[in-house]
Amino acid sequence: MTNKISRRKFLKVVAGSGVVGFGVMAAGCKGDPSGAQGWIPDQYQGKGDFPVNLKGRVAISQDNPSIERDDEKCILCGQCVEACKNVMGVYGNYPLPLKNEVACVGCGQCTIACPSGAITEKRNIQDVLAAIDDDSKHVVVQTAPATKVSLGEEFGMEPGASVGKKMVGALKEAGFDAVFDTCFSADLTIMEEASEFVHRLTKAKDEIPHLTSCCPGWVKYCEYFYPELMHNLSTCKSPQNMMGATIKSFYAEKKGIKPENIINVSIMPCTAKKFEVGREELQVDDQRDMDYVLTTRELAVLLKHKGIDLNNVAESEYDSVLGESTGAGKIFGATGGVTEAAVRTAYYLATGSNPPADLLSWQPVRGMKAVKEANATIPGVGTVNIAVCHGLENARQLLNGIKEHGSKWQFIEFMACPGGCIGGGGQPKSSEPDIKQKRIAAIYKEDTSSAKRCSHDNTEIQSIYKEFYGKPLSEKAEKYLHTSFVNRHDRLF
Amino acid sequence: MKVKVYKCFRILGWDFTITPTRFVLTGLVALMAATVLLRLLTGFQFVTNLTDETPWGMWIAFDVMCGVALAGGGYSTALLVHMFRYKQCEVVARGALLTSLLGYILVMAGLFLDIGQWFNFWRPFVSWGYTSVLFEVFWCISMYTTILSLEFFEIITERVLVKKLHRHILKILPVLVVIGLVFPVLHQSSLGGLFLIMKEKMFPLWWSQFLPIYFLMSSFFVGSAMVCVETTLARTAYGHEIPHEIMLKLTRVGARIMLVYLLMKIYDLFSMDLWGYVFQGTLQSNMYCLEMLFGIIIPICIIVSPLRKTRGGLLTYAWLTVFGVIINRLNCVFTSMYESGSYFPGIGEIIVSAGLVSLGILVYCFLVENFNIIGNARAVQVKIDKDKDIKNLIWALLRTKRH
Amino acid sequence: MAVLVDITKCIGCEGCSVACKMYNGLDFKAKPRNIKDGHLELDDNRWTVIQEFHTANDDLRFVKKQCLHCLEPACASACFSKAIQKDEKTGAVVYYPDLCVGCRYCMVACPYSIPKYQWNEQFPQVAKCQMCESRLSKGDAPACVSACTTGALISGDRDELIKKAHEIIASDSRYVNHVYGEHEVGGSEWLYISDVPFEELGFKQVSDTPVTNYSKSYLSKVPFFAAGWALFLAGLTYYNHRVEKNKKNQDDENKDKED
């Protein structure tokens, strides 16, 4: 037998081993691991332990009443951390490990800072639409001063356009049963707070400095980080809640509607208000002061959902009983506005006559400076030292100074959001560099063009005291218009 | 001996018998085919109730685990007949072989449906995950099914193909038999070995270092029990008689193994300090007691008692043993992992499993009726009609009845 | 590469979870498949999750859950087609879908029940944290570690991290004196330190023996047993053959005698 391998046999062997080899190669080839099909931002390339300025994001609890987040939109840019840490002084100011909760004051600055819209307010639009559609419910809505100079932006209007009357018209068209003005209850707040301030100045000196409490973000911040100063907070409810309590008592009585059938909605520039309306203390006789809060942005969505274009809507007036407002109430939306309004009325309460002209255009408390100082000379009382602070990181530094050296100011206004409420977490997001200044200018323009400049001149306020509350700080006023606070320090420390 | 007579059709030289039962079984097979199509087109979500917590379900626990155990009748009978010269039992060997082969093919069919990326089924042949017990199971079952097919080929070539081929096959049969007794021992025990790695998840009553030995032993004694069951069923169907003494001889070996199994289990209870679990009254302890009492203790009692001499007694032993092994396999897959999650088979899973069993029965009957497997040249007395075409066959299906 | 998780530093921002989904292209919209005891569990679109726990003092703790990338991975050992392999260089336990048959043995074998399955796919794959193997091979940290806001996640060499973990525990009496993952089922790349006992945070209590030891010790015995058994059977066959032959000769002799 020859040892020669036939050509055919050789080819068979080669082909066979080729097939086997290919098979083994194709078979054993492990291919790519699953995953790694996506992308993460450049700041996360590398080991990740580089000292970058910004990374990660803030923690938002599922049951946070003010804000929520859509993870799919999050690009991990870290802007929310920037806002919460450097602007609001919350993130990083509590020790780790955590205690009972992750600190959040609900200010919503993270929603403004979030470039992709991942963080938004917790939505209540469906709740309000359902309430409007429910024929058995009397749905009352109130509008905050800051929203009147901002809502227009959501409909393509100029920044700072004053759209209060249009907003009323739009709300009425949307189906709300009554439209009231939070500026009215701002005047009410001033009546109560100015009286309280004068009382503290003259009689209860250990509650000086008097710290404002209409900003729920600031109030929660105080409860978290400065509980020892809680007794310095004004016991007045915020204008939103004073309005709510008054609606479900005075207005309900007047109109003959059962309080259970009233749904109180507010249009706010603020996400912390959503937290505020859930506070245990804010109810009277088992009726919650407020039911739902819609931010300015949410109202725009609701109106658009109903096909209402703010540009084309007919203007309308606020409903009476709780609809009249003065310039003092209107300036609440700007930083320094509460102070100015309070001083106007405090002057009147202390002296019996209206404040001089410069207090009706009090420049020292106006503007975007972090902490503004001023002093007001009130005949018969003396000089009152006042500070106006906005942005909670600024507040933190101010208060740390107070803890150390004591306070040289007798009255301090705190607003959580930079610029005051016009810069709130629920406001339209704008890329205009001086949007806040424009809104503030619009607010003061509303003030100067108002017939009445001082809260005590509000005739509806006067009649509500005559008919219902009696006088500021009365027993009835204490029941409906004043509140208490909760020490939250141990939840973090 | 009474010979059952069925209405039968001869198509292309093959005999097909129709009975109402087989009609139903065929229907199940058709339903199964539709379900298989759905499974292959849409994956698991519509056909099964499998979840991340219970990734192994009825197809693994019943079709694969029970299937392999019950199909083990082939190797245990072969071991006794060919190795240990239980010559009298030779008469059942062929039937056992057939059941074994059919069982394994059905196991593979069920398994094919259970694997997610079924087009990759060939990967372990070339990408060797040799650290895995499943690797050994996979290879051994593949090899064994091939061997069984070759062994069965001998029976086929008796009637079909060239007679010369038959002689060649007969020559290599002894080698096939030896190999065919190594592989099943390996994979039956390795099916138990699969669970060794689950030490941290398995309920303590079922995990043991002896798991492979337990699975091997139970597959052995269930083998003779299954043969007893099959031949009794065949007798009912075909009037085919197997003497009682032969059955008893086969099962007695199994019963002795069962006793060793029981003793080893009791040793485990002591050495791993598990007595506390046995009488806890929880689901796991109750299932364990069920498995041991009805699957091991009572059958042993039957075999040592005079009951074994009766036909009924032996049959009871056989059925109890079969159910005991089925419960044991199900316990290992489900009950022992109950903490992870609870599971009940989906309708698709039940249809497929029932369909596979039905298919197995139908094929078994066909083969038995057409080849020399259970004794007679052809088990069925053929009532030969003219060659019928399909239309008449369907007509007859609707009007068939047993004489 | 190992990762040290300091549970005391986690604030539950879930940036890690988002980074993982972004990097691996997972579906953000997929509804949770498994929720156990009120805790979100891993699934085919959630390769890492943050679980919220409340301690006895009502303190909040957040625990990051993902594949622990064991030193002796049960899943890799269980895979009979080598679809899961532990990478020598990076230590990551990586899944290769091209080799996967879909038997799901890895899911059953894992003592922590980590691997999940794509139950909704026509050709489902196993799903688990891959430890961003392509990032690791470049020397980068996994996506989740890079994105951690508070520095609760640190990556590095395993021995160094264990040393660091013990230093942290020694320096602060609040920590539980245990590094989870140092020895559990033979140790893992992901290590945890905590001020709350691990049993209260959903960590499974397992022994230090790698579960692969059990299957290894069994498989090592198999070849010998198989060979022995085969030899025994061959011997028996030969013996039977001889007996048959002798019997046949005997019969032939008798037959001859008869004739």
pLDDT digits (tens, 9 = 90+) for B226-242: 888 877 877 776 666 67
pLDDT reported for residue C96: 97
Instruction: Name the closest residue on chain A to residue B129, using Cα atoms.
Output: A28
Q: Please provide the average confidence, as pLDDT, over all residues in chain A.
A: 92
Query: Given B313, B343, B373, which residue is the final one in a domain?
Result: B343
The DSSP bridge partners found for residue A295 are A268
What ipTM score was computed for the predicted complex, to two decimals?
0.92
**Based on the domain organization, do C164 and C225 belong to the same domain?**
no
**Based on the domain organization, do C47 and C165 belong to the same domain?**
yes
pLDDT digits (tens, 9 = 90+) for C81-101: 999 999 999 999 999 999 999
CB A439 within 8 A of CB A157: no
Whether residue B125 and residue A27 make contact (CB cut-off 8 A), yes or no, is yes
Helix (H, G, I), strand (E, B) or coil at B383: strand
pLDDT reported for residue C112: 96
**Based on the domain organization, do C244 and C152 belong to the same domain?**
no
A13 Cα to chain C: minimum distance (Å): 28
**Based on the domain organization, do C205 and C215 belong to the same domain?**
no
Q: Which domains does chain A have, with CATH numbers?
A: 125-491 (3.40.50.1780)
Could you give the percent of chain B with pLDDT greater than 90? 49
**Based on the domain organization, do B315 and B393 belong to the same domain?**
no
Residue A352 pLDDT > 80: yes
**Based on the domain organization, do C106 and C88 belong to the same domain?**
yes
Q: What does B310-326 look like in DSSP terms, one character per residue?
A: SHHHHHHHHHHHHHHHH
Copy the structure tokens of residue C156: 């590095």
- Lowest mean pLDDT: which of A436-450, B314-328, C235-249? C235-249
pLDDT reported for residue B381: 41
Q: Is the pTM of this model over 0.95?
A: no
What average pLDDT does range B241-269 have in this prediction?
Answer: 88
pLDDT reported for residue B388: 44
- Lowest mean pLDDT: which of A326-335, B150-159, B176-185, B272-281? B150-159
Identify which has the larger pLDDT, B78 or A485.
A485
Alpha helices in A6-89 (DSSP H): 7-28, 79-82
**Based on the domain organization, do C178 and C255 belong to the same domain?**
no
Residue B89 pLDDT > 70: no
Helix (H, G, I), strand (E, B) or coil at A184: helix
Reported as a pLDDT band with limits 50, 70 and 90, residue B6 is low
Which domain, by its residues, includes C109?
2-209
Reported as a pLDDT band with limits 50, 70 and 90, residue A26 is low
Whether residue C85 and residue A30 make contact (CB cut-off 8 A), yes or no, is yes
C residues 79-108 lying closer than 8 A (beta carbon) to B: 79-83, 97-105, 107-108
**Based on the domain organization, do B320 and B379 belong to the same domain?**
no
**Based on the domain organization, do C219 and C183 belong to the same domain?**
no
Reported as a pLDDT band with limits 50, 70 and 90, residue B1 is very low
Whether residue C149 and residue A35 make contact (CB cut-off 8 A), yes or no, is no
Residue closest to B355 by CA, chosen among B113, B72, B51 = B113
CB B223 within 8 A of CB B73: yes
Q: Is B149 in CB contact (< 8 Å) with chain C? A: no
Q: Is A23 in CB contact (< 8 Å) with chain C? A: no
Residue C70: phi and psi, rounded to 5, are -60, 155
**Based on the domain organization, do B255 and B270 belong to the same domain?**
yes
Instruction: Name the closest residue on chain A to residue B125, using Cα atoms.
Output: A27
Residue B382 pLDDT > 50: no
**Based on the domain organization, do C177 and C239 belong to the same domain?**
no
**Based on the domain organization, do B354 and B399 belong to the same domain?**
yes
Q: Is B135 in CB contact (< 8 Å) with chain C? A: yes
Q: Is B45 in CB contact (< 8 Å) with chain C? A: yes
pLDDT digits (tens, 9 = 90+) for A249-271: 999 999 999 999 999 999 999 99
pLDDT digits (tens, 9 = 90+) for A101-120: 999 999 999 999 999 999 99
Whether residue B83 and residue C218 make contact (CB cut-off 8 A), yes or no, is no
pLDDT reported for residue A30: 86
**Based on the domain organization, do B395 and B338 belong to the same domain?**
no
Disruptive mutation site among B117, B121, B126 for chain A (greatest number of A CBs within 10 Å): B126
**Based on the domain organization, do B338 and B355 belong to the same domain?**
no
**Based on the domain organization, do C149 and C258 belong to the same domain?**
no
Number of H helices, E strands in chain B: 16, 3
Identify which has the larger pLDDT, B155 or B37.
B37
Reported as a pLDDT band with limits 50, 70 and 90, residue B15 is confident
pLDDT reported for residue A380: 82
Instruction: Name the closest residue on chain B to residue A28, using Cα atoms.
Output: B127
pLDDT reported for residue A85: 95
Split into its structural domains, chain C has a count of 2
Split into its structural domains, chain B has a count of 2
Return d(Cα A442, Cα A449) in angstroms, integer: 10
**Based on the domain organization, do B244 and B326 belong to the same domain?**
yes
**Based on the domain organization, do B224 and B363 belong to the same domain?**
no
First to last CA, chain C: 89
Residue A15 pLDDT > 80: no
**Based on the domain organization, do B310 and B179 belong to the same domain?**
yes
- Burial class for C162, CB neighbours closer than 10 Å (0-12, 13-18, 19+): middle
**Based on the domain organization, do C248 and C193 belong to the same domain?**
no
Whether residue C101 and residue B121 make contact (CB cut-off 8 A), yes or no, is yes
Alpha helices in B240-295 (DSSP H): 244-271, 275-278, 283-292
Which domain, by its residues, includes B143?
57-343
- Residue B126: its chain A contacts at CB < 8 A? 23-24, 27-28
- Residue A28: its chain B contacts at CB < 8 A? 126-127
pLDDT reported for residue B400: 43
**Based on the domain organization, do C119 and C185 belong to the same domain?**
yes
pLDDT reported for residue B106: 92
Q: Please provide the average confidence, as pLDDT, over all residues in chain B.
A: 83
Q: What does A347-373 look like in DSSP terms, one character per residue?
A: HHHHHSSPPPGGGGG-GGG-SS-SEEE
Return d(Cα C180, Cα A5) in angstroms, integer: 65
A121 Cα to chain C: minimum distance (Å): 17
pLDDT reported for residue B372: 64
Residue B260 pLDDT > 70: yes
Count the neighbouring beta carbons within 10 Å of the beta carbon of residue C72: 17
**Based on the domain organization, do B72 and B190 belong to the same domain?**
yes
Whether the link from the prior residue into A95 is cis, omega within 30° of 0, is no
CB C135 within 8 A of CB A46: no
Residue B310 pLDDT > 70: yes
CB A338 within 8 A of CB A413: yes
Instruction: Name the closest residue on chain B to residue C78, using Cα atoms.
Output: B132
Q: Please provide the average confidence, as pLDDT, over all residues in chain C.
A: 94
Instruction: Name the closest residue on chain B to residue C207, using Cα atoms.
Output: B200
Active-site positions of A?
193, 196, 214, 234, 273, 276, 281, 421
Residue closest to A417 by CA, chosen among A107, A75, A9 = A107
pLDDT reported for residue B308: 83
**Based on the domain organization, do C103 and C183 belong to the same domain?**
yes
**Based on the domain organization, do B267 and B315 belong to the same domain?**
yes
Count the neighbouring beta carbons within 10 Å of the beta carbon of residue C6: 23
Contacts for C20 with CB less than 8 Å, ≥ 6 apart: C26, C47, C48, C66, C129, C143, C144
Disruptive mutation site among C82, C84, C208, C213 for chain B (greatest number of B CBs within 10 Å): C82
**Based on the domain organization, do B99 and B150 belong to the same domain?**
yes
**CATH number, residue C195:** 3.30.70.20
